[in-house]
Structures are given as structure tokens and as C-alpha cells.
Chain A
């Protein structure tokens, strides 16, 4: 299950994802996330609620990111959950995403990782 929740922080619309982002949910998420982002004009995707991420999920995140930049906007991924960090770490994709990852406990090499 993946649920979507829109909110606002510092006048910035945020879309939060909660649940699992895996092969079981990506098909739906691929439709829902862009639609919801567009509706709210949100440019931030909050990943703190992601309990599980697999390759399909990671691909989707990367596609969202690239899709946004190809349309001249930017999508920031924020509040990566441990599950997300583990996968991005494993695949060494942190650089490809280029988002700042904040963690507790913070890992020094990662927290200043933006590129």
C-alpha cells in the first residue's frame, strides 16, 4: 500500500508518500504522483514514510526527478527514510539524485553530499 498526503510547510506544498514503493505499487504511483504534484504545484516529495523501496521504486524516484528537470522544474526528494537511504546507498545512486539526505544518526560523508 502506498498513500499520498499533501501538506504545506513554509508555504511550500509538499507531497508525502507513506507505505511501500515497490514493484507492487509503482504502476499506480507512476500515475498518481505526477498528477498530485501537478495539482498542488508541489516540488518536494517527502519520503519519510517509505517503509520499503526496491529497484522499481528507486527507478520511479529517479524518473520523477529527471522528468521534472526535463520540463524545466525541479523536484526535491526530502526526508529520506532509512529504507530509502539503504537502497540508494546500495546502488550508489545518491549522487545521481543529488538530494541532500539528512539522517539520524547523521553520517558525515552523506550529510554534505549535495552536488
Chain B
């Protein structure tokens, strides 16, 4: 059914709104100007409540109504948003999320969820107005004879609303505004204006013709009342007259309205704003003036408000600005199309095949020497390249969403640990492949938890070390020469090398008395079964932390670097390829075989001859820089003699460079990575395979591994140890 589809949209939207709410809540404590965040939260709950109402999801409506009321009081500064309330609202957020989830599963309310709602609602009571009576359903406004309002006739706000024609189509119901106004105060008088409702065939059932004149006795301020209409303000005409307005102001107001003056005047009289005598007099004396002025007089709401001195000009400007921002955002939202991830994956797969097929066609065209064919395939190739880039960019997502989830985690975890931690996020707009982002979130979680648990010290230790009470943790993402770097840095105690060594010996990971460099010691924490936590806590210390992290990162063809200073902090750097599927390759030849290097990692190419520094130690002198090199011919045990002029391809990964000696340079080409089977997992230096245009298979070289091989002190190629680690017992 159509309604089901709409409901799905509601669920999706609700999720997004909840995410926004969570983000706002988490950011609010550091926010210097939390007004916008509070508004965002309020809007989120308000919208969820409204949409839930459309689907008759009463449990959600009931629950969010109370949350909204509390937020509204926060917004109007009647109560302050202290950490306790933030935590409570976060719980409410979680509960709302679970309500939405059960809605998706088709369950409206379970005894548990009801109990959960009730429990949270009880906790919210103290934050509610008055003696804390929760109104479980929107207040139904009882008919109130106009004379009954004691305390003079000017006590009320007069609201005049002409809803825009598309209000109903946009999913808004004027009724809900009236109901909501009823919760802000007492509706003393109300009149529906239905004069615009056409007769006969002109009537369009989905157009809104309704207008409302309403007197509201409330303590709420102008902003609060205006905000009620936030979502319809754009295309509706809304006028507010504050209490104690002068008779002339009411008259000006009446004249500004499109309806018959008499008609509106009577409404105002009925609502007790002005007396009939006032009305008669004012209308008579000002009639002539009206005619002179023309009809346009006072039609602009902003002008009226300022003329009435109802609001100072800056407020109007601010409101307009806000309205515009809201519009912009809406426009932006309209441009987004949601596509299922597997469709995208399929597309990228196909583009991959297309790249191979294109390369093959191109190779054939070259062989045939047919200029026109060559011309055609060149164009095709160029287009394929563009399609590839576009298809891949479709899969790119910003890492910001993943980062933002850590706000919550850091908050929860640090509370649990009794540590005060500030999280800084940088580079949230860095884009990377969706698959990578997904696979990255678990390892990042481990790392962040580790940093909080083991990295950042307890308060006493921090004070003793002269550090600020609040620990800092930062997540940072940026692009760096063809890869993405994600840093997790803390200002904690750093890695205790002695402790690590001791533990590693205990666990039999290294031999007693082994000489290890600092980098080698720190990398021990990535070994399986290694955990230094003295006490096993709930968060980490299960010994399945960092080795799983490394495994996950390895699977993404990434690498981890650790930089740690004792008592000063640790920075963990994850380096990842931009994408998993397709790379720009650089083809080299050894003997009869072709190999492919990722082009991003290639720095330069040169002849080996004059640079040779030391054949023995495999070092070349590159313009004064000592560069380790490897002969791929040796690494891959290629039979036959090397050519007289060998070439060096200088590659760089991270901070380190190395030279790879090959027989031939064969140029750039675009290639699709095909993963190697499990059988070849142990083969070092090879990251994947690809099919060349000619149908031949070429291996894609794993440059990071090769660089590491080349950098190892005794040039590991002869002994080829089984792991990256320094020699151990084994």
C-alpha cells in the first residue's frame, strides 16, 4: 500500500531526526551558543510527534509530546539544560529510537516499551510546568464563551493565520497547530475563516483554504508562538498581535487582512480585543485614508510588525535569516536521492568490468593499426574513465557520521569510567568509500575505547602529572597522497614500553632479552592475545582488541602506525586506500610477466646505473638521499637474466620510500582489483590481481609490504620471515 511506503519514509526521516537530535544533545554541553542546537532538538521531536500523529502511532505521540514540552521549557529558558537532563534526554532519544524500530517491525507497543515510556515520563515530570501533570493526549480545547475571560480584554495574544494552499499537501494539519496552541495556553476565542473555500468545481480537496483567528491567553513569548508555525510560516500568512495592543493596531491589522473588514472586526470584538464602538469609529475615520493609501498598505507582515513596534527590526531580520536557512536546507534535502547500497555495488562491479573490456578493446585497436578504430576506442576509454570516477564517487561518504557516533560513545564510556573527556572531531567531511567506512567503525570503536580505558589516566594521576583534569581525545581524518589517514590521538599516559615488553615475554610473543626498537615494541600491542590492562574492565581488556583492529585494517589494505610518548599521549594513525575496487595502476615488466603498482604511490622512475650506492646493502643514492631498494626479479624468483639497463621505480607509502628495481616500465593504466584467493594470502608483496587488456593476468604489488621488506635492516628478501616482526624464538 501507498501508506506503507509513506510510513517507511516516516521511519527513515525519524531516524535522521533522531540522529540530529543526538548530535545536538551531545554537542550542547560544549556549545557556547546552544540556542540553535536546542531549537534543532525541539524541531526534531516536534516533527516526529507530528508525523507519528499522521500515522496514529499514539505511543510515540504521547511520549514525544512530553519530551517536547520539556524541551520547549528548555528553549524558553524556564529550565536549564544540566548534564542530568542531557542524560535523561539521551535516554528519551534512545527510547524514541526503539519505538521507531518496533514501529518498523509492525509492533506498535509492547508491555516493555510501555513500561519504558512510563519510566522515562515519570523522570521527566519534575521538568514539566506546574505540578508536573503529564498530559497524555493533546489538550482538547473546550468551547469557551468569549465573555468568560476575566481580567480585561487585552490580556490575550491575537493570532491571525491564513494557512498556505499547500499546507495540507505538505503533510501538515492546521488542526494540530490549534491543538498545540492549546497546550501553550488557553484558547479564549477562535474563529475559522472559511471564506476562501470555493463553491462548485473550483474546489480542490487537497488545497487548504482555512484561516484562523484566535485569541490565546498564554505566558509564552512571541518567539515561542511563532515557532509553533515554523513549518508553515513560509507559505502561510501569520500575524501576531501582542496583549495590550492599541485599538489602532487592531484596526491596522484588520485592514491588512484580505477579508472583509467588518467580518474580521466582529471576530476581534467577539474575542474581546476591541469594542464595537472602537471598531465603528476607527473604521469610519480611517476609511478615507485607506482609499488614499491603496490596498497594498500594510500587506507586508514584516512592515506591520515593525510599525506596530511589536518586534524590533533586528528580530525580524534574524527571523527572516533563519527562515531562509531553513528553506536552503529544505532545497538541499530535495536534491538527495536515496539508493540502495547493493545497487551501487552492482553498478561499481559493472563499471569495473567495463574498464577491463575497454582496456581490451583499446589493446586490440592498437594492434590492428586502424586509426578510426583507435580514435573511437580512445573516446570510449575517456568516457569509461569518467564513468568510473563518477560511479566511485557515488560510493564515497563522509566520515563525519561515523565520527559523530563517537560523541555518544565517548560520553557514555567516560561517564562509566568516571573520567572527564573532551572529544574533538576534525575532517568529518573527508570522503571515503562506503565499504571502508562500514568496516572501519568497529576497529575505530576498539581504538577509541582503548584510548579512554588505557590511554587517558584517572583524575588523580592526571593531576599528579600536572595535566588538565579533562582528558582530550581527538579524531582526525584527512587525505594524504592517495590514501586516507585517520588519527586517534589522546593526551593520556602513552604506552608503557617496559610493561609491554614484560607482557610480551610472558605471553611468549617475544624472547626474553630480545633487542627491539621503540616502534617494534609499540607494534607488539597488535599481536594476537596481547592485552596490558591490569584489571579487566567492561570495556576492553578482553585481549581481543588491537589484533582484531589490525586484522580489520589489513583487510582494507590499510596500515596502522603508532606514535606514543610516555606520559604525554598516543597517536594512532590508520592509513587506508581511497577505494577498494579500482585503481590507477602503473605497469612494470620483469621478464615476460607484468606487474602493477598503484600509481598514487609511485614518486618517480629512473635508471638504476649511476645511482647505485651499495649493491651489497641494497641502497641507492637518490640525490643525496639514501634509499633502500629491492629487485623484484629476486623477490619473485624470476628466472633469466636482467636486462643491461635496469629501472628503478621510487615508491612512497606514508613517510617511507623505497626503490623497486624492474626490467621495464610499461606505463599507466586503469585497472580493477580482483582479490587473490585464500591460497595466496600468505604470499608477501602481492595485493591482488588484475586482467590486462590482452587477457593476461598481472599481479598487483602490495607496495607497503614491499617498502617494509626493503627497509628491514638485513633486507628480508633472502630469509623471508613469516611475519613483519623482528626475529623471535618460534
Contacts and interface: CB of A to CB of B under 8 A. Distances in A.
A40 interface: no
Contacts of A30: 203, 205
A59 B140 contact: no
Interface stretch (B166-174, B537-545, B566-574): B166-174
A35 interface: no
B212 interface: yes
Nearest to B142: A89
Contacts of B175: 54-55, 87, 90-91
B199 A67 contact: yes
A91 B212 contact: yes
Contact of A93 (B140, B141, B163, B194): B194
Interface residues of A, number: 26
Interface string A84-109: 00110111110010000000000001
Nearest to A88: B192
Contacts of B171: 23
Given A55-B210, A91-B192, A93-B192, A63 B197 contact: yes
| Among A30, A52, A92, A109: residue with most chain B CB under 10 A | A92
Given A54-B173, A55-B173, A70 B192 contact: no
B491 to A, nearest CB: 56
Nearest to B212: A91
A29 interface: yes
A52 B55 CA distance: 11
B205 A66 contact: no
A6 interface: no
Nearest to B187: A90
A26 interface: yes
Contacts of B206: 23, 26-27, 56
Contact of B178 (A26, A63, A90): A90
Contact of B169 (A23, A52, A87): A23
B408 interface: no
A56 B140 CA distance: 19
A70 B397 CA distance: 59
A26 B205 contact: yes
Interface in A5-46: 23-24, 26-27, 29-30
Interface residues of B, number: 29
Contact of B173 (A23, A26, A66, A89): A23
Most chain B CB within a 10 A radius of its CB, from A54, A60, A109: A54
B179 interface: yes
A92 B3 CA distance: 30
A75 interface: no
B129 to A, nearest CB: 22
Nearest to A71: B200
A105 to B, nearest CB: 14
Nearest to A64: B203
A55 B236 CA distance: 15
Contacts of B179: 90
B168 A56 contact: yes
A86 B140 CA distance: 8
B56 A66 contact: no
B209 interface: yes
B140 A92 contact: no
A62 interface: yes
A87 B141 CA distance: 10
B181 to A, nearest CB: 10
B394 interface: no
Interface in B194-227: 194, 197-200, 203, 205-206, 208-210, 212
B205 A56 contact: yes
B197 A62 contact: yes
Interface string B211-250: 0100000000000000000000000000000000000000
A70 B200 contact: yes
B205 A60 contact: yes
A90 B208 contact: no
Contacts of B141: 89-90
Interface string B496-513: 000000000000000000
Contact of A59 (B3, B56, B143, B210): B210
B209 to A, nearest CB: 6
Given A54-B168, A63-B197, 20 more contacts: A23-B169, A23-B173, A26-B205, A26-B206, A29-B205, A55-B173, A55-B175, A56-B173, A59-B210, A62-B197, A63-B198, A66-B199, A67-B199, A67-B203, A90-B141, A91-B178, A91-B192, A92-B190, A92-B192, A96-B194
27 contacts: A23-B168, A23-B171, A23-B206, A24-B3, A26-B206, A52-B56, A54-B168, A54-B173, A55-B163, A55-B168, A55-B173, A55-B174, A55-B208, A55-B210, A56-B168, A56-B206, A59-B197, A60-B205, A62-B194, A63-B197, A66-B197, A89-B143, A90-B141, A90-B190, A91-B192, A96-B192, A109-B143
